[in-house]
């Protein structure tokens, strides 16, 4: 049996077992088509060859900072940083056939169906493969055990980094997020300073303020309201905690609690990944 047919079988079986979500007739994609797209997008034949680049996954609550650290590591290691959140936002702003449906789902803080995510992800992996990339750092995928099973079926993930942050800091950080409507720069106006108590150290995360020419153009993402942030955390806890368990059971999970702001956290993360010697690059 080929990898491809095993994958399609796995996808169908997983759908039956988990009573997978209802599909809209507007989405012109079958489960088999999605699986084919994903398996052809990942260079399976390279996945066990030494010398290919890393295939890592970032897990963590929405807003924890996965994007920041995944982007830095992707620069350091020379692999594409593939964030499903970005893929969804690109699709939304393209006003394509999925955009109005995606807008409803995102604005309610719900999870997007596996078919849509896998379709977007496959397209992006194909693009990076065409450019010669052999590894990747995924950010925002997999978000469910089913997605993790599908991914495990098509390629070997080397390491899963689970980023953590205290919840009060997390919510403040999400509500402080701002984007420059002109250049797309990401900033944060929240200044988080939580006193140390009961042995836990003080946590200080300074705001990430925009340069003067962006100041008047800051916008808040429509899904960064307190209600939606809390809904996202609820959905995350329900659906994605089991994903942590999935990788923990396979010995692939690295737990990393962010100690504070970016400079401090970045240094400690590199130590945890044994990448200290890359730090000067």
- Residues serving a catalytic function are 66, 143, 177, 221, 232
Nearer to Zn ion, 43 or 185 (CB): 185
Hey, which residues between 33 and 52 contact Zn ion (CB under 5 A)?
Answer: none
Nearer to Zn ion, 218 or 254 (CB): 218
From the list 42, 180, 192, 269, which residue makes contact with Zn ion (rule: CB under 5 A)?
180
Strand ranges for the chain from DSSP E? 55-59, 81-83, 136-139, 159-164, 177-180, 186-188, 192-194, 203-205, 218-219, 253-257
Query: Could you identify the residue written with the tokens 């209802």?
Result: 22
Minimum gap (Å) between residue 191 Cβ and Zn ion: 21
Q: Determine the number of helices (DSSP H) and then strands (DSSP E) in the chain.
A: 11, 10
Nearer to Zn ion, 48 or 93 (CB): 93
SS3 per-residue string spanning 233-278: HHHHHHHCHHHHHHHHHCCCEEEEECCCCHHHHHHHHHHHCCCHHH
From the list 17, 183, 219, 279, which residue makes contact with Zn ion (rule: CB under 5 A)?
183
Cα separation of 135 and 278, whole Å? 18
Minimum gap (Å) between residue 218 Cβ and Zn ion: 8
Helix, strand, coil content of the chain in percent (nearest 5): 50, 15, 35
N- to C-terminal Cα separation, the chain: 44
From the list 156, 182, 226, 276, which residue makes contact with Zn ion (rule: CB under 5 A)?
182
Q: Residue 171 interacts with Zn ion (CB under 5 A)?
A: no
Name the token pair of 135.
Answer: 């590894």
Query: Judged by CB under 5 A, how many residues of this single chain contact Zn ion?
Result: 5
At what angle are helices 241-249 and 226-239 packed, to 10 degrees? 30
Nearer to Zn ion, 183 or 219 (CB): 183
Nearer to Zn ion, 22 or 93 (CB): 93
Of the candidate spans 34-42, 118-126, 166-174, 208-216, the one that interacts with Zn ion by CB under 5 A turns out to be: 208-216
Nearer to Zn ion, 161 or 180 (CB): 180
* Dihedral sign for Cα atoms in the order 184, 88, 57, 235: positive
From the list 137, 154, 214, 270, which residue makes contact with Zn ion (rule: CB under 5 A)?
214
Minimum gap (Å) between residue 178 Cβ and Zn ion: 10
Cα separation of 275 and 73, whole Å? 10
Binding stretches for Zn ion (CB under 5 A)? 180, 182-183, 185, 214
């Amino acid at each position: 049996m080929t990898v491809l047919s095993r994958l399609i079988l796995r996808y169908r079986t997983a759908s039956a077992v988990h009573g997978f979500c209802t599909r809209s007739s507007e989405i012109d994609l079958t489960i088999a088509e999605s699986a084919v797209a994903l398996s052809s997008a990942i260079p399976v034949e390279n996945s066990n060859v030494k010398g290919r680049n890393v295939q890592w996954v970032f897990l963590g609550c929405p807003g924890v900072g996965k994007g920041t650290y995944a982007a830095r590591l992707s620069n350091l290691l020379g692999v594409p940083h593939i964030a499903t959140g970005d893929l969804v936002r690109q699709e939304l702003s393209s006003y394509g056939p999925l955009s109005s449906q995606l807008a409803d789902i995102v604005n309610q803080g719900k999870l997007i169906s596996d078919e849509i995510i896998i379709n977007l992800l496959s397209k992006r992996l194909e693009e990076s493969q065409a450019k010669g990339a052999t590894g990747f750092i995924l950010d925002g995928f997999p978000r469910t055990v089913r997605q993790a099973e599908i991914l495990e079926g098509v390629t070997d993930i080397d390491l899963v980094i689970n980023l953590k942050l205290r919840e009060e800091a997390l919510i403040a950080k999400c509500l402080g997020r701002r984007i420059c409507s002109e250049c797309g720069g990401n900033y944060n106006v929240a200044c988080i300073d939580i006193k140390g108590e009961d042995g836990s150290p003080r946590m200080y995360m300074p705001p990430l303020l925009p340069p003067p020419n962006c100041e008047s153009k800051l916008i808040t993402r429509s899904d960064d309201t307190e209600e939606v942030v809390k809904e996202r955390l609820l959905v995350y806890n329900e659906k994605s905690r089991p994903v942590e368990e999935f990788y923990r059971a396979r010995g692939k999970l690295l737990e990393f609690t962010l100690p504070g702001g970016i400079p401090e956290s970045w240094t400690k993360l590199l130590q945890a990944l044994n990448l200290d010697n890359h730090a000067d690059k």
